[in-house]
Amino acid sequence: MLPEPQETISNYAYFPIFVDEKEYGMSRDALYEKLKQNNIFGRRYFYPLISEFSMYRGLESSAPENLPVAHKMANEVISLPIYPELDKIKIIEIAKLISTKE
C-alpha cells in the first residue's frame, strides 16, 4: 500500500487493487467475473483507456507501445465495493473470494 501524503485527507471513496496475473495466478478480468458471479460488483477502472476510443485509436501517441504503464494499470486495476452499508460479514466474504483462486 502506498503511504498517504501528510497534506492529504482521504475520503475513502474507492478501494482499488491491482491484480498481477503472474503473481496472483488469475487475471483481473477473471477475478472481476468471479466476484460478479457471487453478486459482488467491482469496477474495472480506466477500462477501456481513452486512447482506445475510436477518435483517438489512430493517433501514433495512442499506440499501446507508447503507453505501457497506462495499459498495464488499465489491465490490472479493479475497484472493490466500498459503501457505508458494507458490513463486516460482506467484507470477509469478499476477502475470502479474493484469497481463493479457484
pLDDT by residue (tens digit) across 21-62? 999 999 999 999 999 999 999 998 888 899 999 999 999 999
Residue 15 and residue 91: Cα distance in Å, rounded?
Answer: 12
CATH topology of domain 15-99: Aspartate Aminotransferase, domain 1 (3.90.1150)
Provide the whole-model pTM: 0.79
Name the H helices within 4-50.
Answer: 21-24, 28-37
CA 89 to CA 91: how far, in whole Å?
Answer: 5
Distance CA(36)–CA(86), nearest Å, equals 16
Distance CA 21, CA 19 (A): 6
Distance between CA atoms of 47 and 85, rounded to whole angstroms? 26
Q: pLDDT-derived band of residue 12, with 50, 70 and 90 as boundaries?
A: confident
Q: What are the pLDDT digits (tens) for 63-74?
A: 999 999 999 999
| pLDDT over 80 at 1, yes or no | no
29 in Cβ contact with 44 (< 8 Å): yes
Instruction: Summarize the confidence of residues 74-83 as an average pLDDT.
Output: 92
**How many helices and strands (H and E) does the chain possess?**
5, 2
